Structure 1
Amino acid sequence: MSAAPADNALAMQSFLIATGLVALAEIGDKTQLLAFMLAARFKRPWPIVLGIFVATIVNHAVAGAVGTWLTSVIGPMALRWILGLSFLAMAGWMLIPDKLDEDDTPKPGHGVFVTTVIAFFLAEMGDKTQIATVALAARFPADFIGVVMGTTAGMMVANVPAVLVGGKLADKLPVKLVHRVAAVIFAVLGVMTLAGVGQSLGL
Protein backbone atom coordinates (compact mmCIF):
# COMPACT_ATOMS: atom_id res chain seq x y z
CA MET A 1 0.00 0.00 0.00
CA SER A 2 2.87 2.37 0.76
CA ALA A 3 4.91 1.51 -2.33
CA ALA A 4 2.85 3.62 -4.73
CA PRO A 5 3.14 6.90 -2.79
CA ALA A 6 6.88 6.29 -2.38
CA ASP A 7 7.26 5.60 -6.09
CA ASN A 8 5.27 8.73 -6.92
CA ALA A 9 7.45 10.80 -4.60
CA LEU A 10 10.64 9.49 -6.22
CA ALA A 11 9.20 10.11 -9.70
CA MET A 12 8.30 13.68 -8.77
CA GLN A 13 11.76 14.20 -7.27
CA SER A 14 13.58 13.02 -10.41
CA PHE A 15 11.26 15.16 -12.56
CA LEU A 16 11.89 18.29 -10.47
CA ILE A 17 15.65 17.72 -10.32
CA ALA A 18 15.80 17.21 -14.10
CA THR A 19 13.63 20.26 -14.76
CA GLY A 20 15.59 22.56 -12.46
CA LEU A 21 19.04 21.46 -13.56
CA VAL A 22 18.33 21.66 -17.28
CA ALA A 23 16.49 24.98 -16.98
CA LEU A 24 19.54 26.46 -15.24
CA ALA A 25 21.98 24.80 -17.64
CA GLU A 26 20.07 26.10 -20.66
CA ILE A 27 20.38 29.78 -19.67
CA GLY A 28 22.98 31.25 -22.00
CA ASP A 29 23.49 27.88 -23.70
CA LYS A 30 23.97 27.75 -27.45
CA THR A 31 20.49 26.29 -27.96
CA GLN A 32 18.99 29.25 -26.11
CA LEU A 33 21.07 31.54 -28.29
CA LEU A 34 19.60 29.67 -31.25
CA ALA A 35 16.10 30.30 -29.86
CA PHE A 36 16.86 34.04 -29.76
CA MET A 37 18.13 33.89 -33.34
CA LEU A 38 15.09 31.99 -34.63
CA ALA A 39 12.73 34.42 -32.90
CA ALA A 40 14.50 37.42 -34.41
CA ARG A 41 14.64 35.91 -37.89
CA PHE A 42 11.13 34.53 -38.30
CA LYS A 43 9.05 36.57 -35.81
CA ARG A 44 6.59 33.67 -35.56
CA PRO A 45 6.91 32.46 -31.98
CA TRP A 46 4.47 29.56 -31.78
CA PRO A 47 5.83 27.43 -34.65
CA ILE A 48 9.27 27.99 -33.10
CA VAL A 49 8.08 26.94 -29.64
CA LEU A 50 6.45 23.81 -31.09
CA GLY A 51 9.59 23.02 -33.08
CA ILE A 52 11.77 23.37 -29.98
CA PHE A 53 9.44 21.04 -28.06
CA VAL A 54 9.45 18.35 -30.76
CA ALA A 55 13.22 18.51 -31.28
CA THR A 56 13.90 18.45 -27.54
CA ILE A 57 11.62 15.58 -26.61
CA VAL A 58 12.98 13.39 -29.43
CA ASN A 59 16.59 14.28 -28.65
CA HIS A 60 16.18 13.79 -24.91
CA ALA A 61 14.24 10.56 -25.31
CA VAL A 62 17.23 9.14 -27.19
CA ALA A 63 19.62 10.55 -24.59
CA GLY A 64 17.52 9.14 -21.76
CA ALA A 65 17.42 5.73 -23.45
CA VAL A 66 21.22 5.78 -23.66
CA GLY A 67 21.47 6.67 -19.99
CA THR A 68 19.08 3.89 -18.97
CA TRP A 69 20.92 1.40 -21.21
CA LEU A 70 24.22 2.26 -19.53
CA THR A 71 22.85 1.02 -16.21
CA SER A 72 22.34 -2.43 -17.76
CA VAL A 73 25.87 -2.80 -19.15
CA ILE A 74 27.98 -1.12 -16.47
CA GLY A 75 28.37 -2.45 -12.93
CA PRO A 76 26.95 -0.40 -10.04
CA MET A 77 30.33 0.65 -8.63
CA ALA A 78 31.79 1.64 -12.01
CA LEU A 79 28.56 3.44 -12.88
CA ARG A 80 28.68 5.38 -9.62
CA TRP A 81 32.18 6.64 -10.40
CA ILE A 82 31.36 7.44 -14.02
CA LEU A 83 28.23 9.37 -13.05
CA GLY A 84 29.86 11.14 -10.12
CA LEU A 85 32.77 12.30 -12.24
CA SER A 86 30.40 13.21 -15.08
CA PHE A 87 28.38 15.48 -12.80
CA LEU A 88 31.57 17.10 -11.56
CA ALA A 89 32.70 17.60 -15.17
CA MET A 90 29.32 19.16 -15.93
CA ALA A 91 29.88 21.55 -13.03
CA GLY A 92 33.13 22.71 -14.64
CA TRP A 93 31.54 22.86 -18.10
CA MET A 94 28.82 25.15 -16.75
CA LEU A 95 31.45 27.81 -16.02
CA ILE A 96 32.64 27.96 -19.64
CA PRO A 97 30.75 30.58 -21.74
CA ASP A 98 28.87 29.09 -24.67
CA LYS A 99 28.50 30.42 -28.19
CA LEU A 100 26.52 29.56 -31.29
CA ASP A 101 28.57 27.78 -33.95
CA GLU A 102 28.19 28.60 -37.63
CA ASP A 103 27.02 25.03 -38.25
CA ASP A 104 24.14 25.60 -35.79
CA THR A 105 22.76 28.54 -37.78
CA PRO A 106 19.44 27.53 -39.38
CA LYS A 107 19.55 27.10 -43.14
CA PRO A 108 16.84 28.66 -45.34
CA GLY A 109 14.53 26.63 -47.52
CA HIS A 110 12.11 25.13 -44.98
CA GLY A 111 9.12 26.39 -43.08
CA VAL A 112 9.54 27.88 -39.62
CA PHE A 113 8.55 24.69 -37.76
CA VAL A 114 10.71 22.32 -39.82
CA THR A 115 13.67 24.71 -39.73
CA THR A 116 13.40 24.96 -35.95
CA VAL A 117 13.15 21.19 -35.45
CA ILE A 118 16.20 20.49 -37.60
CA ALA A 119 18.33 23.33 -36.27
CA PHE A 120 17.47 22.71 -32.62
CA PHE A 121 17.90 18.94 -32.84
CA LEU A 122 21.34 19.28 -34.43
CA ALA A 123 22.44 22.04 -32.02
CA GLU A 124 21.42 19.89 -29.05
CA MET A 125 23.62 16.97 -30.17
CA GLY A 126 26.52 16.74 -27.74
CA ASP A 127 25.31 19.85 -25.91
CA LYS A 128 25.52 20.09 -22.13
CA THR A 129 21.77 19.63 -21.66
CA GLN A 130 21.80 16.44 -23.73
CA ILE A 131 24.75 15.07 -21.78
CA ALA A 132 22.98 16.03 -18.56
CA THR A 133 19.94 14.05 -19.72
CA VAL A 134 22.08 10.95 -20.29
CA ALA A 135 23.60 11.29 -16.82
CA LEU A 136 20.28 11.97 -15.11
CA ALA A 137 18.61 8.99 -16.80
CA ALA A 138 21.46 6.79 -15.60
CA ARG A 139 21.18 8.32 -12.11
CA PHE A 140 17.41 7.68 -11.99
CA PRO A 141 17.05 4.54 -14.16
CA ALA A 142 13.66 3.63 -12.70
CA ASP A 143 12.09 6.87 -13.90
CA PHE A 144 13.02 7.27 -17.55
CA ILE A 145 9.80 9.11 -18.41
CA GLY A 146 10.11 11.48 -15.46
CA VAL A 147 13.67 12.39 -16.40
CA VAL A 148 12.90 12.95 -20.10
CA MET A 149 9.79 14.98 -19.32
CA GLY A 150 11.72 16.93 -16.70
CA THR A 151 14.63 17.79 -18.98
CA THR A 152 12.19 18.71 -21.74
CA ALA A 153 10.24 20.90 -19.33
CA GLY A 154 13.50 22.57 -18.29
CA MET A 155 14.32 23.36 -21.90
CA MET A 156 10.89 24.85 -22.45
CA VAL A 157 11.07 26.92 -19.25
CA ALA A 158 14.30 28.48 -20.52
CA ASN A 159 13.45 28.78 -24.20
CA VAL A 160 9.78 29.76 -24.40
CA PRO A 161 10.46 33.18 -22.80
CA ALA A 162 13.50 33.52 -25.08
CA VAL A 163 11.26 33.05 -28.12
CA LEU A 164 8.37 35.19 -26.89
CA VAL A 165 10.42 38.09 -25.55
CA GLY A 166 13.45 37.70 -27.81
CA GLY A 167 16.43 40.02 -27.61
CA LYS A 168 14.84 42.13 -24.87
CA LEU A 169 15.49 39.27 -22.47
CA ALA A 170 18.97 38.30 -23.65
CA ASP A 171 20.87 41.22 -22.14
CA LYS A 172 19.02 41.06 -18.82
CA LEU A 173 19.74 37.44 -17.92
CA PRO A 174 22.29 36.99 -15.10
CA VAL A 175 23.96 34.22 -17.07
CA LYS A 176 27.12 33.97 -14.98
CA LEU A 177 25.20 33.81 -11.72
CA VAL A 178 22.77 31.21 -13.06
CA HIS A 179 25.62 29.09 -14.37
CA ARG A 180 27.41 29.26 -11.02
CA VAL A 181 24.27 28.07 -9.27
CA ALA A 182 23.90 25.22 -11.76
CA ALA A 183 27.58 24.34 -11.35
CA VAL A 184 27.15 24.09 -7.58
CA ILE A 185 24.10 21.83 -7.98
CA PHE A 186 25.92 19.57 -10.45
CA ALA A 187 28.92 19.43 -8.11
CA VAL A 188 26.75 18.52 -5.12
CA LEU A 189 24.99 15.84 -7.15
CA GLY A 190 28.39 14.51 -8.25
CA VAL A 191 29.73 14.34 -4.70
CA MET A 192 26.53 12.69 -3.48
CA THR A 193 26.72 10.14 -6.27
CA LEU A 194 30.38 9.31 -5.54
CA ALA A 195 29.58 8.99 -1.85
CA GLY A 196 26.59 6.74 -2.55
CA VAL A 197 24.22 9.11 -0.77
CA GLY A 198 20.61 8.12 -1.37
CA GLN A 199 21.40 4.86 -3.15
CA SER A 200 19.32 2.84 -0.72
CA LEU A 201 16.39 5.18 -1.39
CA GLY A 202 16.79 5.09 -5.15
CA LEU A 203 17.90 8.73 -5.33
Structure 2
Amino acid sequence: MLQDLIVPLILVGLAELGDKTQLAILVLSTKTKKYLALLLGVMAAFSITTGLAIILGNFISTVVPMEYVSISAGLLFILFGLLMLVSKEDEETNVNPELNNPFLTGFGLILVAEMGDKTQIATAVFATQYDPYLVFIGVILALFIMTMIAIYIGQFIMDRIRTSIISKAAGILFILIGASFFI
Protein backbone atom coordinates (compact mmCIF):
# COMPACT_ATOMS: atom_id res chain seq x y z
CA MET A 1 0.00 0.00 0.00
CA LEU A 2 2.78 2.46 0.85
CA GLN A 3 4.49 1.64 -2.45
CA ASP A 4 1.31 2.75 -4.25
CA LEU A 5 2.10 6.26 -3.03
CA ILE A 6 5.91 6.24 -2.87
CA VAL A 7 6.69 4.76 -6.32
CA PRO A 8 4.70 7.37 -8.31
CA LEU A 9 5.94 10.18 -6.03
CA ILE A 10 9.62 9.35 -6.53
CA LEU A 11 9.47 8.41 -10.21
CA VAL A 12 7.31 11.35 -11.30
CA GLY A 13 9.41 13.70 -9.19
CA LEU A 14 12.59 12.48 -10.88
CA ALA A 15 10.97 12.58 -14.33
CA GLU A 16 9.97 16.23 -13.78
CA LEU A 17 13.54 17.35 -13.05
CA GLY A 18 14.39 19.66 -15.94
CA ASP A 19 11.14 18.82 -17.73
CA LYS A 20 9.63 21.41 -20.08
CA THR A 21 6.73 22.08 -17.72
CA GLN A 22 9.07 22.79 -14.81
CA LEU A 23 11.13 25.12 -17.00
CA ALA A 24 7.91 26.86 -18.05
CA ILE A 25 6.86 27.29 -14.42
CA LEU A 26 10.29 28.67 -13.55
CA VAL A 27 10.04 31.20 -16.39
CA LEU A 28 6.46 32.17 -15.50
CA SER A 29 7.50 32.73 -11.89
CA THR A 30 10.00 35.35 -13.08
CA LYS A 31 7.13 37.24 -14.72
CA THR A 32 4.88 37.75 -11.70
CA LYS A 33 4.89 38.49 -8.02
CA LYS A 34 1.59 36.63 -7.60
CA TYR A 35 3.26 33.32 -6.79
CA LEU A 36 0.28 31.82 -5.01
CA ALA A 37 -2.00 32.47 -8.00
CA LEU A 38 0.58 30.89 -10.31
CA LEU A 39 0.96 27.89 -7.98
CA LEU A 40 -2.80 27.41 -7.78
CA GLY A 41 -3.22 27.63 -11.57
CA VAL A 42 -0.41 25.19 -12.23
CA MET A 43 -1.63 22.74 -9.59
CA ALA A 44 -5.20 22.94 -10.94
CA ALA A 45 -3.87 22.00 -14.38
CA PHE A 46 -1.73 19.20 -12.92
CA SER A 47 -4.75 17.91 -10.98
CA ILE A 48 -6.84 17.76 -14.14
CA THR A 49 -4.15 16.10 -16.27
CA THR A 50 -3.29 13.63 -13.52
CA GLY A 51 -6.96 12.84 -12.93
CA LEU A 52 -7.51 12.35 -16.64
CA ALA A 53 -4.52 10.04 -16.82
CA ILE A 54 -5.85 7.94 -14.01
CA ILE A 55 -9.47 7.91 -15.15
CA LEU A 56 -8.90 7.52 -18.83
CA GLY A 57 -5.52 5.81 -18.95
CA ASN A 58 -4.54 5.45 -22.56
CA PHE A 59 -8.01 6.47 -23.80
CA ILE A 60 -6.81 10.03 -24.49
CA SER A 61 -4.16 8.84 -26.90
CA THR A 62 -6.70 6.77 -28.83
CA VAL A 63 -9.26 9.59 -29.16
CA VAL A 64 -7.02 12.61 -29.73
CA PRO A 65 -3.99 11.93 -31.90
CA MET A 66 -0.92 12.80 -29.86
CA GLU A 67 0.57 14.72 -32.76
CA TYR A 68 -2.31 17.23 -32.48
CA VAL A 69 -1.71 17.60 -28.75
CA SER A 70 2.03 18.07 -29.36
CA ILE A 71 1.46 20.60 -32.13
CA SER A 72 -0.96 22.58 -29.93
CA ALA A 73 1.46 22.58 -27.00
CA GLY A 74 4.38 23.57 -29.24
CA LEU A 75 2.46 26.45 -30.78
CA LEU A 76 1.35 27.65 -27.35
CA PHE A 77 4.93 27.71 -26.06
CA ILE A 78 6.12 29.55 -29.19
CA LEU A 79 3.28 32.09 -28.83
CA PHE A 80 4.20 32.76 -25.19
CA GLY A 81 7.85 33.09 -26.19
CA LEU A 82 7.07 35.60 -28.91
CA LEU A 83 4.85 37.59 -26.54
CA MET A 84 7.69 37.75 -24.03
CA LEU A 85 10.16 38.93 -26.66
CA VAL A 86 7.95 41.71 -28.03
CA SER A 87 6.24 42.94 -24.84
CA LYS A 88 7.32 46.15 -23.15
CA GLU A 89 8.30 45.93 -19.50
CA ASP A 90 6.38 47.80 -16.84
CA GLU A 91 9.44 49.20 -15.06
CA GLU A 92 7.53 50.15 -11.94
CA THR A 93 6.39 46.64 -11.10
CA ASN A 94 8.87 44.58 -13.16
CA VAL A 95 6.00 42.39 -14.31
CA ASN A 96 5.09 41.64 -17.93
CA PRO A 97 1.57 42.62 -18.98
CA GLU A 98 0.82 39.14 -20.32
CA LEU A 99 0.90 37.78 -16.76
CA ASN A 100 -1.80 39.98 -15.31
CA ASN A 101 -3.54 36.72 -14.48
CA PRO A 102 -0.84 34.20 -13.51
CA PHE A 103 -3.50 31.66 -12.47
CA LEU A 104 -4.97 31.46 -15.98
CA THR A 105 -1.59 31.70 -17.69
CA GLY A 106 -0.10 28.90 -15.59
CA PHE A 107 -3.26 26.81 -15.85
CA GLY A 108 -3.60 27.08 -19.63
CA LEU A 109 0.03 26.54 -20.44
CA ILE A 110 0.52 23.55 -18.13
CA LEU A 111 -2.82 21.98 -19.07
CA VAL A 112 -1.87 21.86 -22.74
CA ALA A 113 1.80 21.03 -22.15
CA GLU A 114 1.07 18.08 -19.84
CA MET A 115 -1.38 16.34 -22.18
CA GLY A 116 0.42 13.24 -23.40
CA ASP A 117 3.56 14.11 -21.41
CA LYS A 118 5.73 11.26 -20.17
CA THR A 119 4.59 11.78 -16.57
CA GLN A 120 0.94 11.65 -17.59
CA ILE A 121 1.51 8.40 -19.45
CA ALA A 122 3.50 7.04 -16.49
CA THR A 123 0.64 8.02 -14.19
CA ALA A 124 -1.82 6.09 -16.36
CA VAL A 125 0.43 3.03 -16.16
CA PHE A 126 0.84 3.38 -12.38
CA ALA A 127 -2.95 3.54 -12.01
CA THR A 128 -3.26 0.14 -13.67
CA GLN A 129 -0.76 -1.40 -11.22
CA TYR A 130 -1.42 0.42 -7.94
CA ASP A 131 -4.31 1.97 -6.01
CA PRO A 132 -5.45 4.87 -8.25
CA TYR A 133 -6.22 7.15 -5.30
CA LEU A 134 -2.75 6.72 -3.81
CA VAL A 135 -1.19 7.13 -7.26
CA PHE A 136 -3.05 10.45 -7.63
CA ILE A 137 -1.85 11.65 -4.22
CA GLY A 138 1.74 10.57 -4.92
CA VAL A 139 1.85 12.20 -8.35
CA ILE A 140 0.25 15.44 -7.18
CA LEU A 141 2.62 15.60 -4.22
CA ALA A 142 5.62 15.14 -6.55
CA LEU A 143 4.32 17.81 -8.94
CA PHE A 144 3.62 20.18 -6.03
CA ILE A 145 7.16 19.80 -4.68
CA MET A 146 8.72 20.31 -8.11
CA THR A 147 6.47 23.31 -8.80
CA MET A 148 7.41 24.95 -5.50
CA ILE A 149 11.09 24.47 -6.32
CA ALA A 150 10.63 25.97 -9.81
CA ILE A 151 8.71 28.97 -8.43
CA TYR A 152 11.32 29.56 -5.73
CA ILE A 153 14.17 29.42 -8.25
CA GLY A 154 12.26 31.79 -10.54
CA GLN A 155 11.75 34.23 -7.68
CA PHE A 156 15.45 33.97 -6.77
CA ILE A 157 16.44 34.74 -10.37
CA MET A 158 13.99 37.64 -10.62
CA ASP A 159 15.48 39.28 -7.53
CA ARG A 160 19.02 39.17 -8.97
CA ILE A 161 18.80 39.69 -12.73
CA ARG A 162 17.41 42.64 -14.70
CA THR A 163 13.88 42.03 -15.93
CA SER A 164 14.72 42.84 -19.56
CA ILE A 165 17.37 40.10 -19.61
CA ILE A 166 14.95 37.63 -18.00
CA SER A 167 12.29 38.49 -20.60
CA LYS A 168 14.60 37.92 -23.54
CA ALA A 169 15.99 34.67 -22.10
CA ALA A 170 12.49 33.47 -21.19
CA GLY A 171 11.14 34.26 -24.63
CA ILE A 172 13.96 32.40 -26.32
CA LEU A 173 13.58 29.44 -23.93
CA PHE A 174 9.83 29.22 -24.55
CA ILE A 175 10.38 29.29 -28.32
CA LEU A 176 13.00 26.52 -28.03
CA ILE A 177 10.71 24.42 -25.84
CA GLY A 178 7.88 24.97 -28.34
CA ALA A 179 10.12 23.98 -31.24
CA SER A 180 11.10 20.79 -29.39
CA PHE A 181 7.50 19.57 -29.76
CA PHE A 182 8.02 19.46 -33.53
CA ILE A 183 11.23 17.41 -33.44
Structure 2-normalised TM-score? 0.62
Q: Which residue of structure 2 aligns with residue 178 of structure 1?
A: none
Distance 2:75 2:26 in 1: 15
> Alpha carbons of 1:31 and 1:45: their partners in 2 closer, same or farther (altered >3 Å)?
same
Distance 1:109 1:14 in 2: 37
The SS at the match of 1:41 is coil
Structure 1: any 5+ residue segments left out of the alignment? 1-9, 70-99, 170-203
Moved over 3 A (4+): 105-110
Distance 2:133 2:58 in 1: 11
Q: Which residue of structure 1 aligns with residue 29 of structure 2?
A: 39
Distance 2:146 2:32 in 1: 19
| Aligned positions of 1:84-103 closer than 5 A | 101-103=74-76
Question: Which residue type is aligned with residue 36 of structure 1?
Answer: L
Distance 1:165 1:110 in 2: 20
Contact 2:46 2:143 in 1 (8 A): yes
The SS at the match of 2:116 is coil
Q: Equivalent pairs: percent with the same residue?
A: 30
| Aligned positions of 1:142-153 closer than 5 A | 143-153=131-141
Q: Which residue of structure 2 aligns with residue 19 of structure 1?
A: 9
Q: Which residue of structure 1 aligns with residue 56 of structure 2?
A: 66
Q: Which residue of structure 2 aligns with residue 104 of structure 1?
A: 77
Q: Which residue of structure 2 aligns with residue 121 of structure 1?
A: 111
Contact 2:53 2:123 in 1 (8 A): yes
Distance 2:155 2:75 in 1: 19
Question: Which residue type is aligned with residue 154 of structure 2?
Answer: G
The SS at the match of 2:111 is helix
Question: Which residue type is aligned with residue 139 of structure 2?
Answer: T
Structure 2: any 5+ residue segments left out of the alignment? 60-72, 84-97, 158-183
The SS at the match of 2:4 is helix
Q: Deviations over 1:117-154 (max 9, x none)?
A: 111111101111111111111122xx111111111111
Contact 2:22 2:147 in 1 (8 A): yes
Q: Deviations over 1:22-77 (max 9, x none)?
A: 110000000001111110122321111111111111110010112398xxxxxxxx
> Alpha carbons of 1:123 and 1:110: their partners in 2 closer, same or farther (altered >3 Å)?
farther
CA RMSD, Structure 1 to Structure 2 (Å): 2.4
The count of residues paired between Structure 1 and Structure 2 equals 127
